[in-house]
């Protein structure tokens, strides 16, 4: 069952071909408007004013008054209406309204006229987002229009029961994804809270929270006194044929996501290039991060059992025996290190962190035993966050696969 009018996967009991309809034929639709910003009496009321970035939210940042609604093109929507973003960065996003409120001109609201399932239509629009954007927006820039959306043709079951089952199935998937996303967000916030309480505040030498048995002040340390810091000198450009699929791995910032290196996508270099800089050969316990362009994004090297190095946009920090690598990895994810990055980024079109910047980087650290406890504790949190992230990514991929097989 994989012809043009029947999906590859269906719920039991449904066999009829699907039919094509234009969105404008099966829904009534309209856009809104924005009350004049010069009229203070139009704002600060009790009517939620939904903007395109809020179509999937249960709250809004802005509220308008009855006067603002009545003296503008703003239109009301009901809970359960389909909201489609027409303008700007959110073009092509779609959601089901979770609140009753007013919309502006950047949103198209759609209401099924003949009992078609709103969740089914919404999921079809999600599936088609990239096609719509690539067809109607040049390079992803510009705006969609209500007439474009209404002219879109979709295939759907004539049996409304099948539409509803498909819509409910994807709603459950979306609810599971949203729950997983919320759990991930909570974990990240928890980690941030621990970072703030387990490291001393600016101008202080004692943290608010620490492990039992540790009481002494933390020591102010200049990184250059406790670490070897290296950046690879730029290589002459390699010809494409000089790259190899089985040579030493060469890590760039793009290969690191939340401290995790994706070894499946790293570049590989010829052995003779690798031999030019043996001192940059990575070891377990090394810390690496981007020093050019998009600064930061650190990773801690552990369980390394292959030959690997860094490219010319990266820097290596190898701490001495007085500093626990897991502890310093957390320092590199702290506000202190972020401030260093901010200072280098501000006012620079292509920011760089130089070895001298890292040599002079000052941070506080307790005795080695306490460093290890802090590093291990926060690593467990990082591992839990990474696990939730993988589960979230897997759910999104599962949904994507179902969208491909359950729609025509």
pLDDT per residue over 279-326, tens digit each?
A: 678 999 999 999 988 889 999 999 898 888 888 889 999 999 999 999
Helices 368-406 and 118-127, packing angle to 10 deg: 110
Residue 248: per-residue pLDDT:
80
The tens-digit pLDDT sequence of the chain (408 residues) is: 344 578 999 999 999 999 999 999 999 999 999 999 999 999 999 999 999 999 999 999 999 999 999 999 999 999 999 999 998 889 999 999 999 999 999 999 999 999 999 999 999 999 999 999 988 886 556 689 999 999 999 999 999 999 999 999 999 999 999 999 999 999 999 999 999 999 999 889 999 999 999 999 999 999 999 999 998 655 555 565 555 666 788 888 899 988 889 888 887 777 666 665 666 789 999 999 999 888 899 999 998 988 888 888 899 999 999 999 999 999 998 888 888 888 877 656 778 888 889 999 999 999 999 999 999 999 999 999 999 999 999 999 999 999 999 998
Threshold 0.85, pTM exceeds: no
Distance CA 157, CA 7 (A): 10
Q: What is the DSSP letter of 247?
A: S
Residue 238: per-residue pLDDT:
56
Residue 1: per-residue pLDDT:
39
CA dihedral 56, 57, 60, 65 (to 10 degrees): 60
CA dihedral 171, 177, 183, 185 (to 10 degrees): -110
Residue 237: per-residue pLDDT:
55
For residue 11, count other CB atoms closer than 10 A to its CB.
12
- Is there a shared CATH topology between the 19-156 domain and the 219-365 domain? yes
Residue 239: per-residue pLDDT:
60
Q: Which fold has domain 1-16+159-212+367-408?
A: Helix Hairpins (1.10.287)
CB of 35 closer than 8 Å to CB of 74 = yes
For residue 81, count other CB atoms closer than 10 A to its CB.
21
CATH code at 19-156? 3.90.220.20
User: Structural domain boundaries of the chain?
Assistant: 1-16+159-212+367-408, 19-156, 219-365
Distances (CA, A) of 349 to 157, 294, 312: 53, 11, 18
Name every residue whose Cβ is closer than 8 Å to that of residue 245 and which is 6 or more positions away in sequence.
268
Q: Where are the beta strands (DSSP E) in 341-405?
A: 362-365
Per-residue burial over 134-171, b if 16 or more Cβ lie within 10 Å, else e, is: eebeeeeeeebebebbbebebbbbeebebbbbbbebbb
| 3-class DSSP state of 168 | helix
For residue 290, count other CB atoms closer than 10 A to its CB.
22
Closest C-alpha to 333, from 199, 210, 211: 199
Name every residue whose Cβ is closer than 8 Å to that of residue 254 and which is 6 or more positions away in sequence.
none
Residue 143: per-residue pLDDT:
83
Q: What is the DSSP letter of 121?
A: H
CB of 14 closer than 8 Å to CB of 164 = no
The arrangement of secondary structure in 219-365, i.e. its CATH architecture, is Alpha-Beta Complex (3.90)
Q: Is the dihedral of CA 134, 135, 140, 146 positive or negative?
A: negative
Largest Cα–Cα distance of the chain, in whole Å?
Answer: 75
For the chain, the straight-line distance linking the first and the last C-alpha, in angstroms and rounded, comes to 11
Distances (CA, A) of 256 to 198, 264, 310, 397: 26, 11, 12, 20
């Amino acid at each position: 069952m994989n012809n043009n009018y029947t999906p590859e996967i269906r719920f039991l009991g449904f066999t009829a071909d699907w039919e094509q309809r234009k969105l404008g034929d099966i829904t009534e639709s309209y856009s809104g408007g924005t009350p004049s910003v010069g009229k203070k009496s139009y704002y600060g009321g009790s009517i939620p004013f939904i903007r395109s970035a809020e179509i999937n939210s249960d709250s809004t940042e802005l509220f308008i008054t009855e006067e603002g609604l009545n003296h503008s093109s703003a239109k009301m929507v009901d809970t359960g209406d389909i909201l489609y973003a027409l303008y700007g960065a959110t073009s092509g996003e779609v959601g089901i309204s979770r609140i009753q409120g007013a919309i502006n001109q950047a949103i198209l609201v759609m209401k099924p006229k003949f009992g078609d399932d709103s969740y089914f239509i919404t999921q079809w629009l999600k599936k088609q987002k990239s096609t719509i954007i690539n067809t109607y927006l040049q390079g992803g820039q510009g705006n969609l229009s209500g007439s474009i959306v209404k002219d879109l043709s979709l295939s759907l079951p004539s049996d409304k029961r099948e539409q509803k089952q498909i819509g409910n199935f994807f709603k459950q998937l979306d609810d599971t994804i949203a729950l997983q996303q919320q759990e991930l967000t909570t974990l990240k916030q928890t980690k941030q809270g621990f970072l703030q309480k387990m490291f001393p505040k600016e101008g202080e030498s004692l943290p608010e929270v620490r492990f039992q048995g540790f009481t002494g002040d933390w020591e102010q340390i200049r990184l250059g006194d406790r670490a070897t810091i290296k950046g690879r000198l730029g290589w002459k450009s390699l010809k494409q044929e000089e790259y190899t699929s089985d040579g030493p791995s060469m890590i760039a910032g793009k290969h690191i996501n939340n401290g995790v290196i994706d070894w499946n996508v790293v570049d590989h270099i010829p052995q003779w290039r690798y031999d030019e800089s043996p001192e940059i050969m990575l070891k377990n316990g090394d810390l690496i991060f981007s020093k050019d362009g998009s600064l930061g994004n650190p990773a801690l090297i552990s369980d390394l059992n292959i030959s690997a190095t860094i490219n010319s946009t990266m820097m290596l920090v190898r701490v001495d025996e007085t500093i626990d690598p897991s502890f310093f990895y957390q320092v590199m994810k702290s506000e202190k290190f972020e401030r260093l990055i901010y200072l280098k980024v501000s006012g620079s079109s292509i920011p760089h962190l130089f070895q001298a910047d890292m040599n002079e980087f000052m941070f506080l650290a307790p005795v080695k035993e306490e460093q290890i406890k802090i590093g291990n504790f926060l690593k467990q949190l990082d591992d839990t966050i990474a696990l939730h992230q993988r589960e979230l990514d897997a759910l999104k991929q599962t949904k994507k696969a179902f969208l491909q097989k359950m729609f025509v």
